[in-house]
Structure 1
């Protein structure tokens, strides 16, 4: 989405325009994953660089600057994100040549070299006597050396340079980086608004996908398009009716799925069990109310809290498992024991 924002972002866009007369050197946009933060900040970046910006702050889409921006070669704009995200975008845009030439797994971190590469960019004058804009996301992907390098830049920001940073999880960003950015919250859309948008995009079974992704519409659409429903249902059936034999079979079936997905599905399931136990509410999997209620009644709260803690710890290591199958087996057997 090049020059536009999503319907649920309109009020945030208007609030953001109030910052333009006295532009902060760094803004950190934060909110849940899957609500369109990266599209929002790239639309804002294009508006900052536009030479004939519209009264509402959107880029005109017609000037030379907008032309360069849409072709991803604006001389006063840099985008910093993990190598793995660059590959995903290239694949979406049909440019698989760069990806196929690589033999090693693309990094999911933002590395110090990427921050250092900004030095030359920030030390030369801008091409059109306007701003210089750096977009960086997600901030939690910065490894420690990269975080420290960025911090130095934010402490002594070059004149005429604006950093637009996005984060899905503020508690995973260095407090010193947070303190040097103007924080700007991007809210989750209402359920009705997100559901209407998904239906307008032609997403089948939009209600279930939206609930299962915690109300995040872009995450719901991505999962619907990736066709991961069968894998999700396989896991949910096991979680609803846990058994050692079932855990081993499901681990075998899911080992080709990116591990962060089944871990997230388990985290949401455990959240629903806990939420039902405490308040009778189900957020993610209302289709499984009967099974969730049975488990909530059966599992002691201390065991449930231990299972939630274990799932959270697994989420932190899901991107670097020694063996996907063993990782899944361990995770699902631990869950099965919790339910015994």
Structure 2
């Protein structure tokens, strides 16, 4: 394989896909923080590659087709993302039309986009190799969009191939799942992840790797967002003390996710299990009760369902810290 993948642990699953491909559609299922989108894009590049002889050598990374994929301009590749992910992943909108309102970018993949997919798949390949559609994350398709895709998956045009990437495979229609070849993508071994994070210049990588649930790409993103190992380890103690600055400046969705991890590990400590995201000593100043933590967990789940609500971020974060302090000392109430 000539092309260099962004994450070394993706090489084996890509080889497996290329060696054992069957059918016209692949479904990649697993956590996003291990490079799921990057694997899907590498597979699309391999399917469109023009410069290699035989599957084992694809993608070459040097042919004209590979260059077009790298520049996001390949005429036979359609990458379908929710508006909210397009900028983050570096892919321009399908149609660069000015928005009439100041509404937040959509987190859904809507039926209009799937109609464009159907039209795209039915067109003749510009370079004569294949037509490839990459949908990520596939669980973001609404019900109408998913059914629109299903019709094309059932009777695909001759040169069309599909890659669906999902973190929530059970959220997809069973009829869509049944028409795809599946590959489950797991986090790499801890030693591999730690070595890679150390190569990226991360001090104490084991702390943020644990904070990200063993997902190295997510761990690197936490560092890029300004989080360091010491700040993460201090978070439960600062919340237990009601430190209003503990979450200052955090986007509400990111703060809620961090609080859910604190709540999860506090529940582990109370029930005698090993914490997942923090060291056990991070909870030495907390006095939580099981009932208090369960109530807090339910409240955080409620807030997470409405994380896109236009909250006053400052007031919301103060309220979240107050709730955390109360829950982490619920045994004293």
Q: 1:329 to 1:147 in 2, by over 3 A?
A: farther
> Is 2:236–2:282's contact at 8 Å kept on the other side of the alignment?
no
> Is 2:29–2:169's contact at 8 Å kept on the other side of the alignment?
yes
Aligned equivalents of 1:32, 1:332: Cα separation in 2 = 28
Greater displacement, 198-207 / 262-271: 198-207
Aligned equivalents of 1:306, 1:156: Cα separation in 2 = 49
Which structure: greater helix fraction? 1
> Is 2:78–2:134's contact at 8 Å kept on the other side of the alignment?
yes
Q: 1:224 to 1:15 in 2, by over 3 A?
A: same
- Secondary structure of 1:29's counterpart equals strand
In the alignment, is residue 307 of structure 1 matched against residue 300 of structure 2?
no
Partner in structure 2 of residue 4 of structure 1: 5
Partner in structure 2 of residue 260 of structure 1: 253
Q: CA RMSD in A?
A: 3.0
Aligned equivalents of 2:18, 2:213: Cα separation in 1 = 29
- Secondary structure of 1:331's counterpart equals helix
Aligned equivalents of 1:327, 1:88: Cα separation in 2 = 25
Partner in structure 2 of residue 283 of structure 1: 276
In the alignment, is residue 292 of structure 1 matched against residue 264 of structure 2?
no
In the alignment, is residue 59 of structure 1 matched against residue 59 of structure 2?
yes
Partner in structure 2 of residue 192 of structure 1: 191
Partner in structure 2 of residue 154 of structure 1: 153
Query: Shift in Å at residue 294 of structure 1?
Result: 5.9
- Secondary structure of 1:177's counterpart equals helix
* 1:231-270 equivalences in 2 (<5 Å): 235-239=235-239, 241-243=240-242, 246=243, 249-250=244-245, 254=248, 256-270=249-263
> Is 2:256–2:300's contact at 8 Å kept on the other side of the alignment?
yes
- Secondary structure of 2:294's counterpart equals helix
- Secondary structure of 1:257's counterpart equals coil
User: Which segments of 5 or more consecutive residues in structure 2 lack a partner in the other structure?
Assistant: none
Aligned equivalents of 1:221, 1:3: Cα separation in 2 = 19
Aligned equivalents of 2:180, 2:319: Cα separation in 1 = 40
Q: Deviations over 1:62-93 (max 9, x none)?
A: 222112212211111100001122222449x9
User: Which segments of 5 or more consecutive residues in structure 1 lack a partner in the other structure?
Assistant: none
Query: Shift in Å at residue 186 of structure 1?
Result: 0.6
Aligned pair count reads 322
> Is 1:267–1:311's contact at 8 Å kept on the other side of the alignment?
yes
Q: TM-score, normalised by structure 2?
A: 0.84
> Is 2:270–2:288's contact at 8 Å kept on the other side of the alignment?
no
Q: TM-score, normalised by structure 1?
A: 0.83
Query: Shift in Å at residue 259 of structure 1?
Result: 1.7
Greater displacement, 267-276 / 152-161: 152-161
* 1:105-116 equivalences in 2 (<5 Å): 105-116=104-115
- Secondary structure of 1:34's counterpart equals helix
In the alignment, is residue 73 of structure 1 matched against residue 73 of structure 2?
yes
Partner in structure 2 of residue 333 of structure 1: 322
